[in-house]
Every structure is written in C-alpha cells, then in structure tokens.
Amino acid sequence: MPKPLTFESWLQPEASGLFCLPGKFHIDPHRPVPRAVITHGHSDHARPGHGAVLATPETIAIMQTRLGPECAGSFQALALGERVGIGGVAVRLLPAGHMLGSAQVVMEYAGARAVASGDYKRRADPTTRPFELERCHLFITEATFGLPVFQHEPDTREIGRLLASVHANTDRTHLIGAYSLGKAQRLIALLRRAGYSRPIWLHGAMRSTCELYARLGVDLGDLPLVSNADGKLPGEIVLCPPSALKDRWSRRLTDPVMAFASGWMRVRARAHQHGVELPLVVSDHADWPELVSTIAETEAEEVWVTHGREDALVHQIGLMGKRGRALALVGFEEEGE
Amino acid sequence: MKAFADLLDRLSYSPSRNAKLRLMADYFRTAPDPDRGWALAALTGGLPFSFPLRRTLTQMMDRRMDPVLFRLSRDYVGDTAETIALAWPAADGTVIGGQEHRTSSPSHRAEGASSTPRRAEGASSTPRRAEGASSTPRTEGSGAGGSSPMRGEGNAEMDLRLSDIIADLGLIGRNELGARLEGWLDRLDATSRWALLKLLTGALRVGVSARLAKTAVAEMAGWRVAEIEEVWHGLAPPYTELFAWLEGHATRPNLVGTPMFRPLMLSHALEPTDWAALDLAEFCTEWKWDGIRVQVASAGGKTRLFSRTGDDIGHSFPDLIGTWSFDAVLDGELLVVRDGAVAPFNDLQQRLNRKGVGKKQMEQFPVHVRLYDVLLIAGEDLRQLAFSERRVRLEAWFAGVRPRRSDLSELVQARDKAELERIWAGTRATGIEGLMLKRRDSPYVAGRPKGLWWKWKRAPLTLDCVLMYAQRGSGKRSSYYSDYTFGAWRETATGGRELVPVGKAYFGFTDEELLQIDRWVRNHTSDSYGPVRVVQPGLVFEVAFDAVARSTRHKSGVAMRFPRIHRIRWDKPAAEADRLETLLAMIEA
C-alpha cells in the first residue's frame, strides 16, 4: 500500500494565496495569477487582473459590475453543485451562505477531498442559498470570529431592536452603517421580512450594489436615495457605508440614531470605538459555535485556518483531537464586516 | 431581568441626555413593581449590596471553560465580566453548546434539500441548572449536537425577575454566591448576564447620574424632579410608595422627622450690564468660596450632606457630620480648611467621589462647612423670609449650636461700587473665587431665578495653547470634532521642543466656529485612533481657566480647573504659543 499523500503535497499556502498544485489554480489570491477560483465577490477575495477566473455566475456578475467587464482575462461560470475537472482535480462549488453567489470550493484529488470554505455562515439569509455541509478529509476554514465571545444574536432579535428603536424615536432618523455589498441587502431583506414596508433610504454608494442584487433576482422594495429626499428624514431608516457614519454627510439627517450592523458590535469596546448608539450584531460570518460545529460536522481529520483570529480556533481544533494549522494568509480584511 | 438589561445596554450606548431620559421613562412606565423600584435603586447607586467578584468569577470560569480560550477572549475583550457574559458556556460543558442555528446535515448533494434551519426549536427551551457544574469536563469541541435547548433567550415566562435576584441576594451568604450566580448566568442571555455582573459589583457605569434617573421618574409622571427630591431621602428601595404616589394611586409619602434635601437656589453670572444697573444698597455681598456647594440637613438624630444635585455624599465625610445633631437645613460651602485658612480646590478634590475615606486622608485634608443660608429651623420653613431676615436667624442659630468644623461666611462691606470693584480685583491674589451679590429682600427660591443672586467670578487666567487631538462629540455633535486636547511647549532633553497636553475643553466656541474648527481638523489630521484625530500643530486656542493645580494624573504634571476655549487665534503661529513654564508659574501655593 502506498502511503497516502499529505495535503501539503497538493495544496500550498503561497505568498499570493492558497495554491492547488495539480490544478495550477489559486483560491481567492490577492495578487494577479494565471488561474483563480473566486469564492465570492467581496473585494478582498475577488481582485482584478487574473488570467482566468472560475466562479459562480452571481460572483462573476458582481466582479464585472464592481471591477469592470475586463477585470480578468476570461471567466468560466460554474453553477453550484456542478463538477469540473482541472488538471486531475475534480472541482465543485457549494453554497457558503455568506452572500449572494458565495461558494465553498470542493477539491477531490488522489482519493482525498478538501473543502475550502471561503467566508461562510450557517444561519438563514433571505439573500443567499444556505451553507451546505460536505464531509471531507481536509477542511480549510475562515476564522473572522474565532473567539468564544463571538456568539451572534439571532437576526430576528436584532431587527426587532432596530424597529423598536425606530418606533420609540419617530423624531429622529435611524442611520445604519453596513457593508455595501451583502450586508446592506441582507439587512433590507430582513427588514422587509419583518414587515417593514416603508421606503429604506440609501447613501449614494449603496445604489449600484442594491441594483445589482435586484438584477440578480433579489427583490428589496422601494430604495430611494437620500440625495433625492425633500426633508431631513425624521422617523426613517437610512443605510450608508460604515465610513459615512462619522462623515459630515450625516448632518443632512435629523438628530440621527447611529447604528452599525456588524458581528464586531457584540464587543462593547468595539461598538464604543465606532461611537454608535445602536450596535446591531448582524454578521455574515460564522460565529464561534458555528465554526466549531461545522468543523466537527465535516469530520475532517485536518483543519487549516486561512484568516481571522486563528490562535483560539487552532487551539480548539487541538482540543477536538484534530490536526490544526494556521495558514495566516494575508490580504483579507475583517473591518468591513 | 431582560427589560432591565436591555435598558442598561441602551443607556451605555446613548450619548445624549434626552435619549437617556426617554429610555428610562419608557422602562419605568412599563416595568412592573417591584422590579422598576430596584432598577431605580441601581441607577441611583442605592442598592444595599456590592460584591467583590474577582475571585468568584475566576474560580467559576476555571471550572467552565478552557483556560487558554478564556485568556485569549479576555485579552481581546479587555474586561473580565464582559468576557464571561459573552462567552458563558452552557452547563453541560460545551462552549459551543448546540445553540439554535446548527443547520444543515452532512450532504454530498448540491441541492441541499436537508439544510432547513431549525431555529424554531428554541421556543421550547428549558433553563438549565448549574448543579454539578464542578464535575463537568472542560470545553470540548465535540458538542456538535444541536439537540440541546437554547439558553433562556427571550422567553418571558422563563425570564428571571430582577426583584427575585435581589431578594435571593439578601438571603444567601457570601460563600453561596458563586453557585447561585452560575445558576442565574445559565438562565440569562448575554446582555442580561452582563447586566447582572454589573449589578453585583454595585457600579453600573452607564453614564446616568442619580439626578438623571430621578428626572426620568418625574417626567414619566409629568412632574418636576424637585418634587421627587423633596421626598427622596425619606424613601427606600423598591420605592413602591413613590411610584404609587406618582401614578395617582396613593398620597404623598409622609416623611416627618427625616433629614431631606430641599432644591437649591442658584445664581446667575454677573455681566457688565448687570453690574451697571445694580443698586448696591439693595444687596448683601459675600466671598465666593472655591469649594463645592452643599446642603446640610439634620433631623431626628440623623444628619445628611447633599451635593447641589441632591446626591447624598455624607458617607465620604464621617469626620464632618458624624458628630452633628440638630434640627435644621442649612446652605453652605464644603472646603478643606487648615489652621483657619482655606486650601485650594485641588485639596478638596482628594476627598470627593470616594466610596470610603481613610484616616490619613481625613487628617491630611480636613473638611469644613462655611454656612451662608438657612432654609428650615426646627420644622419652621424660612424660605419665604427675605435673605436679610434669614441671615439674622442663621447667626442666632449658629451662636447657639456651633457645630464643629463649621463657621459663618462673613459679609463683605463696601461703601460704594468703586470700593467693591477694588475688592473684586484683589480676589485672585487672596485665593478667593470672586464675590456673591444677594438681594437683601430675596426669598429662597428653588432653581435659578433672575435678578436675585449674582455670582461675580474673578477674571479667568488665560494661556495660548496648541490643538493636539480632536475627538468626535456625542449626540448632536457626533459628526463634529468638538472635544479638543491642547498643549503647551516644553524643552526636550536634547534641546528641541515638544508639545505636552495641558487640558481638554469642548465649549466656549460658537456653532459657526465649531464648523470652522471641524473643517480645520479634517484637513490637518496626521493620525487617528478610533474617534480621536491627531492633528498637526497649527491651530492656537486662547484657553481660559479658573485655576491650575499640580496633578500626578497628567503627563504635564498640571491640571486646569474649568478650562474653556476663550478665543480661536487663527492669526497666531503655533510656535508662538505659550510654554509649560508659564502655566506652572500660575499655580497658587
């Protein structure tokens, strides 16, 4: 019997990102490479300048809208669940539940299966398909919220807190900082699902991503721009990128209640640092219980951690009797979450 | 507990007074008795307990959670109690504790038909008990289940009541606290766990003063806070009779024989036009002492010392009121006095805002009350009498009682305005804060009535300082850099010059000037930390302040008293701003 290959013999963390040797492709590289598999459309994962890009049709649409139609030499769309062979590696994309079009990358080679999660969450999200679990030998996970203190609240509770505050403060605008791609659309969809049917006002920077979601089939209702408003919008909900919360831009609103939707809002010092009055714990990343249970459910014998708070998670993986390894891949941002 | 926890949570993030009042009034309107009364006690610092939790918490977490994971969490969060509240593991030893959102089962198929969320099961939650927690294993990652019930989130029937917790705390011994606390934490959500731990330590720190909490209670009923203050010190938690009275179900609580706070009469700052129009013959003049305004109330053998806002601060001054027993309500100034001489305000500062007070401090900073008015004597309300009549009654009363460590504030005599102006001009040299002018015929009116009492402060000191850091304000000012730290020049060891921060101010400028400074800050930022921007040295403020004292808490070694932006010197180059030595020379001996 030949000794089974080590995972390192065909999957390697390189300076530009995770590299699959037999397939000759990188996953979410942060520098231009000949061939890239892109898990989702956030700018720290989907960068311009690659020779060929393989991704879900939604991710390709997002890249072409945000980075330009020529942002890669060529595009190959792979629908979720479909299989393609690349240099002897069978590659599939499975839903990751992170945002519209987000995918995990399943790679089968020499009798072993590895799954690179990309960014993911396990909770229901009306704007994207739910995460699908795949049993595997090697699981390559993110760890943005890799500390036991991160246990995100149920999103229904956070939306309930927001709406209660809106009802109690009809003389003030509620200004919510949210990442423009993914988080903003999920928030709007959650508000709609909670029965909020009034217009939701947008900062100009949010317009193109919301229109893109609508084009890709996610209905978000009436989304007028703040710049077209007649008054100072008391009693209304306004969404803006997090950076606009501290900007002079917010002065056009009525004594705004500053809110911020992010997994970081669970920690008080972080919420105070942003100076927000209403922190909303709404995250598109797995929290600690989700990370740990996902690792257990994959039944992987070895787990690599790409980015985030990896020291605690690698320690936890050891406690679970598995081999853990921190890849410390560079180029991923966590602040926008 | 949940409603109270949510209140504390929202208060801790609400910068504006109005938002805080609104949150509290909503809570007091909807929360049941006696929970709301205990909440009011907590917000006014009136809970009858506080527990030193450090050891209890450490032991508890040692049993519950892997020490490496706890340490990493604690390092990130920066606060032990908050870390515990956030990371609190379930009682069965699984940190990950099968919560409500474990969804999809393993599948090799892409369609993912099996991945339906199972969140609904949380509704059937039963609270978990902490019994046997000490025998449970440390954190393990194997608890992937998803079959265990979610912890007491949001289920009203299962919600622990604040009043139940308070009642239990009164019954248990100190060594039982750990076990009881574990049981509670198991039943609460993260926000409630955080609130409970804050409650137990006795310090909420959510930016609410006792006065503001009482104001919220008053506004809830459409009353003025003064009416609450008048009865407050005769009441005890959970204040059911107070709420019954406010809501019209009962009469005013009867409080004869209890020393109580009476709202103070305040003065206006004297402007040059006021001085010009003033007829000196109608006024009495006193020195304006640089201490803190206090009210002494003594009745039924008990004596209380109140701050100007009605907070009972007597616990810090047993050396002062411990021996006092009479039947009167008096108005005066709390000072540190040594050998008959008033010490600088900085000395008094060493005795303020302290929970306890040591013997050494009492000897080093002996306190004293200088009396200048009287409101009640032996149950007789004197507030309608003229100031001059009250003064006669005060002098007669003082001659008879003479409480230790007190004296009367002398009346300043001046033949005419010119002489009084000379006296006023000399106040800085004598270490006095200025003069008080009180109309002879003025009754004692609560609040700040116009034209009866004037404060005529000595001219402020000023220093040209360089803006160093600007911080975003709160509430209406949250998009403006409105809080300024400024510095003065000092020589470095190598012969160069550096700015050292000497103070911080956030008022003294107009809205228009605020806009201009804000723009300047944004255009001259060299670095930023969270809400704070570091700016290039280029903007000079003429800072006015009442005094300056040595301080070990500041890098510069000095602390300004009451600093404010006096003028913005757009014209002045930063290099020509003042030096630290100039400020040091202004320290009063």
Q: What is the pLDDT of residues A253-276, one digit of tens each?
A: 999 999 999 999 999 988 988 889
Predicted local confidence at residue A308, as pLDDT = 86
- DSSP reduced 3-state for B509: coil
* Phi, psi torsion values for B294, nearest 5 degrees: -135, 160
Cite the residue boundaries of each domain of chain A with CATH code 3.40.50: 155-280
How far is it, in rounded angstroms, from Cα A220 to Cα B46?
Answer: 49
Best CATH choice for the domain A7-149+285-326 from the list 3.30.70.1560, 3.90.1170.50, 3.30.1120.10, 3.60.15.10: 3.60.15.10
Q: Does A160 touch chain B (CB under 8 A)?
A: no
Partners of B75 on chain A (C-beta within 8 Å) are none
- Nearest CB partner across the interface for A133, out of B13, B77, B107: B107
Q: Does A280 touch chain B (CB under 8 A)?
A: no
Interchain proximity A269–B79, CB inside 8 Å:
yes
Mutate to test the interface with B, among A152, A248, A272, A277 (most CBs of B within 10 A): A277
Joined together, the tokens standing for residue B206 give 């959510």
Active site residue B438: no
How far is it, in rounded angstroms, from Cα B528 to Cα B247?
Answer: 50
Interchain proximity A147–B73, CB inside 8 Å:
yes
Question: What is the rounded radius of gyration, in angstroms, for the C-alpha atoms of chain A?
Answer: 21
Nearest chain B residue to A254 by CA: give it: B476
Three-state SS sequence of chain A: CCCCCCHHHCEEEECCEEEECCCCEEECCCCCCCEEECCCCCCCCCCCCEEEEEECHHHHHHHHHHHCCCCEEEEEECCCCCEEEECCEEEEEEECCCCCCCEEEEEEECCEEEEECCCCCCCCCCCCCCCCCCCCCEEEEEECCCCCCCCCCCHHHHHHHHHHHHHHCCCCCEEEECCCCCHHHHHHHHHHHCCCCCCCEECHHHHHHHHHHHHCCCCCCCCCEHHHCCCCCCCCEEEECHHHHHCHHHHHCCCCEEEEECHHHHCHHHHHHCCCCEEECCCCCCCHHHHHHHHHHHCCCEEEEEEECHHHHHHHHHHCCCEEEECCCCCCCCCCC
Q: Does A316 touch chain B (CB under 8 A)?
A: yes
Contacts of B285 (CB under 8 A, 6+ apart): B411, B412, B413, B414, B420, B435, B436, B437, B438
Interchain proximity A149–B104, CB inside 8 Å:
no
The residues in A 69-98 lying below 8 A from B, measured between CB atoms, are: 80-82, 92, 94-95
- Nearest CB partner across the interface for A316, out of B12, B13, B141: B141
How far is it, in rounded angstroms, from Cα B408 to Cα B398?
Answer: 8
- DSSP reduced 3-state for B178: helix
Cis before residue B117, ω within 30 degrees of 0?
A: no
Percent of chain A predicted with pLDDT > 70: 98
B38 close to B238: Cβ distance less than 8 angstroms: yes
Partners of B110 on chain A (C-beta within 8 Å) are 80-82, 92, 94, 132
Cis before residue B238, ω within 30 degrees of 0?
A: yes
- Nearest CB partner across the interface for A149, out of B77, B115, B143: B77
Interchain proximity B69–A248, CB inside 8 Å:
no
Residue B527, Cβ density class (10 Å: 0-12 exposed, 13-18 middle, ≥19 buried) = exposed
Cite the residue boundaries of each domain of chain A with CATH code 3.60.15.10: 7-149+285-326
Report the amino acid identity of residue B537. Answer: P
pLDDT per residue of chain B (589 residues) written in tens, 0 to 9: 999 999 999 999 998 899 999 999 999 999 999 999 999 999 998 888 878 888 889 888 988 899 999 999 999 998 899 999 999 986 654 443 333 333 333 333 333 333 333 333 333 333 333 333 333 333 333 333 333 334 434 444 467 999 999 999 888 877 888 899 999 999 999 999 999 999 998 778 899 988 899 999 999 989 988 889 888 888 999 999 999 999 999 998 877 778 888 989 999 999 889 999 999 999 999 999 989 999 999 998 899 999 988 888 998 999 999 989 999 999 999 999 998 899 988 889 889 877 778 899 999 999 999 999 999 999 899 999 999 999 999 999 999 999 999 999 999 999 999 999 999 988 877 778 899 999 999 999 988 899 999 999 988 899 999 999 999 887 677 788 999 999 999 999 888 999 999 999 998 898 889 999 999 999 999 998 878 999 999 999 999 998 898 888 888 889 998 899 999 999 899 999 999 999 999 987 6
Partners of B148 on chain A (C-beta within 8 Å) are none
Partners of A295 on chain B (C-beta within 8 Å) are 141
Partners of B190 on chain A (C-beta within 8 Å) are 151, 153, 266
Partners of B68 on chain A (C-beta within 8 Å) are 312, 315
- Structural domains in chain B, CATH included, are 268-457 (3.30.470.30), 461-584 (2.40.50.140)
Predicted local confidence at residue B171, as pLDDT = 84
Mean pLDDT of chain A: 94
Closest to A10 in 3D by CA, of A142, A135, A108, A104: A108
Closest to A175 in 3D by CA, of A262, A244, A237: A237
- Nearest CB partner across the interface for B87, out of A82, A149, A157: A149
> Residue A126: is its pLDDT beyond 90?
yes
- Nearest CB partner across the interface for A154, out of B6, B119, B479: B119
Question: At B212, which helix (H) or strand (E)?
Answer: helix B210-220
Mutate to test the interface with A, among B9, B76, B88 (most CBs of A within 10 A): B76
Interchain proximity B106–A133, CB inside 8 Å:
yes
Interchain proximity B104–A292, CB inside 8 Å:
no
Q: Does A290 touch chain B (CB under 8 A)?
A: yes
Q: Closest approach of chain A CAs to the CA of B88, in angstroms?
A: 8
Q: Closest approach of chain A CAs to the CA of B203, in angstroms?
A: 17
Partners of A277 on chain B (C-beta within 8 Å) are 13-15, 19
Interchain proximity A273–B531, CB inside 8 Å:
yes
- Nearest CB partner across the interface for A311, out of B72, B95, B109: B72
How far is it, in rounded angstroms, from Cα A73 to Cα B251?
Answer: 83
Q: Closest approach of chain B CAs to the CA of A183, in angstroms?
A: 19
Write down the H helix ranges in B31-137: 35-43, 54-64, 67-77, 80-87
B539 close to B480: Cβ distance less than 8 angstroms: no
pTM greater than 0.80 (yes/no): no
Partners of B478 on chain A (C-beta within 8 Å) are 246, 250, 256, 258, 275
Q: Closest approach of chain A CAs to the CA of B70, in angstroms?
A: 8
The yes or no reply on domain A155-280 and CATH 3.40.50 is yes
How far is it, in rounded angstroms, from Cα B297 to Cα A12?
Answer: 78
